[in-house]
Amino acid sequence: MKRFILGLIIVLGIAVPVYGKIHFDQKVEQTVSEARGETEEEPSGEAPDEEAASEEAPEQAELSDLLEDADSAFAEKMAATIAEGEPLTMVVAGSGSVTAEDGESYAELLRDGLQETYNTDLIEVEVVDFEDQDSLEVLDNDSAEEIAELSPDILLYDPLVLNDNGEVSIEDTVYSLRDTVQTVMNENPDVVPYIQPPQPIFEAEYYLDQINGLNEEMEESEELIYINHWESWPDTTDEDIEEYVDELDVTPAGHELWAEHLLAFFTGEDEVEEDEDE
């Protein structure tokens, strides 16, 4: 009996350490396996960010491709805003033609066209309507401050040549134009100003002389970009123009024609079409 007990003690003395060693090794192996599993899972945890980055890249590349033919100053503004996920604010200012009684104005149509072309709703268009004010009244009323407060990235300004017709000289119109632009630039140093004439009218006489004076002034200007959309309208001596301008008011067809010219200018689509025609 004593021998049996002694033998049992010896067996247990050997078995217990061996079992402990086996159990310890198993725990170590389990711990190492878990650690390896976590290490292998870490890259998959970063995958969503990498996928998001890869999804953003084509959008930026697409925008860059779309801007290839665009007006250079406009393209730079788009790259500084839209490409960075920030809105681009364009302020369209001028006489009553910036709005429309029936349908959408050329400003609204331009906004829609730009948003569609560049596949973004971050392009915002604000309108400042000076209504019947002439250039001198805009100066006296400090109306340019209304534009400046909107913090435009782009200013598309229609100097009030038609409102000034027969009342204000083209020299004073241009002076008011430059003062307005300078006021806006003083508060928004990075704004890009574009100038465009008001709408043409049928059988224009003195008004045509004023527009020609504006064209000459803008051609000599180095700091202002001029968009002469009259190139797209029928001649002022052509009765067909009455489809687009009813006396002094721009018709829905006129707003559409006006917007198409502006859209082609900003996007460069007109240049592409000319190249293809050649």
| Segment 35-77, tens digit of pLDDT | 334 434 444 444 444 444 333 322 677 888 889 999 999 999 9
DSSP secondary structure of 165-202: TTTS-HHHHHHHHHHHHHHHHHH-TT-EEEE------T
pLDDT at 249 over 70: yes
Are residues 175 and 264 located together in one domain of the fold? Answer: yes
Q: State which residues form the domain around 197.
A: 70-277
pLDDT at 7 over 60: no
Q: Could you tell me the pLDDT band of residue 199, with boundaries at 50, 70 and 90?
A: very high
| Segment 100-123, tens digit of pLDDT | 988 899 999 999 999 999 999 999
Domain membership flag for residue 50: no
Which distant-in-sequence residues (6+ apart) come within 8 Å of 252 by Cβ? 100, 102, 103, 104
Q: Nearest Cα to 135, choosing from 169, 105, 110, 102?
A: 169
Domain membership flag for residue 64: no
Domain membership flag for residue 39: no
Are residues 26 and 100 located together in one domain of the fold? Answer: no
Q: In the predicted model, what is the mean pLDDT of residues 92-104?
A: 91
CB 189 within 8 A of CB 225: no
| Segment 255-266, tens digit of pLDDT | 999 999 999 999
Chain position carrying tokens 């200018």: 265
Q: Could you tell me the pLDDT band of residue 33, with boundaries at 50, 70 and 90?
A: very low
CB 139 within 8 A of CB 160: no
Which 8-state DSSP code applies to residue 150?
A: T
Are residues 29 and 164 located together in one domain of the fold? Answer: no
pLDDT at 223 over 90: no
pLDDT at site 270: 65
Q: In the predicted model, what is the mean pLDDT of residues 159-183?
A: 95
More confident residue, 235 or 16: 235
Are residues 76 and 140 located together in one domain of the fold? Answer: yes
Cα 234 from chain centroid?
Answer: 30
Which distant-in-sequence residues (6+ apart) come within 8 Å of 109 by Cβ? 255, 256, 259, 263
Domain membership flag for residue 265: yes
pLDDT at site 13: 52
The domain tally of the chain equals 2
Residues linked to residue 127 through DSSP beta bridges, in sequence order: 92
**Token couple for 61:** 């590349």
Q: Is the entire prediction scored with pTM above 0.85?
A: no
Domain membership flag for residue 161: yes
Chain position carrying tokens 């209504």: 131
| Segment 121-156, tens digit of pLDDT | 999 999 999 999 999 999 999 899 999 999 999 999
Are residues 81 and 21 located together in one domain of the fold? Answer: no
Are residues 226 and 128 located together in one domain of the fold? Answer: yes
**Token couple for 42:** 């870490």
Are residues 12 and 90 located together in one domain of the fold? Answer: no
pLDDT at site 246: 95
More confident residue, 227 or 40: 227
Q: What are phi and psi of 237, to 5 degrees?
A: -95, -5
Rounded CA separation 14/182 (Å): 97
Query: Which CATH number fits the domain that encloses residue 261?
Result: 3.40.50.1110
Which 8-state DSSP code applies to residue 272?
A: H
Are residues 129 and 208 located together in one domain of the fold? Answer: yes
Domain membership flag for residue 42: no
Domain membership flag for residue 62: no
Q: What are phi and psi of 150, to 5 degrees?
A: -85, -5
pLDDT at site 145: 95
Are residues 26 and 94 located together in one domain of the fold? Answer: no
Number of H helices, E strands in the chain: 10, 7
Are residues 254 and 149 located together in one domain of the fold? Answer: yes
Are residues 163 and 245 located together in one domain of the fold? Answer: yes
Domain membership flag for residue 56: no
CB 90 within 8 A of CB 78: no
Side by side, which strands form the sheet with 192-195? Answer: 123-129, 88-94, 154-157, 192-195, 225-226
Give me the chain's average pLDDT, please: 82
CB atoms closer than 10 angstroms to residue 6: 10
Are residues 108 and 205 located together in one domain of the fold? Answer: yes
Rounded CA separation 19/11 (Å): 12
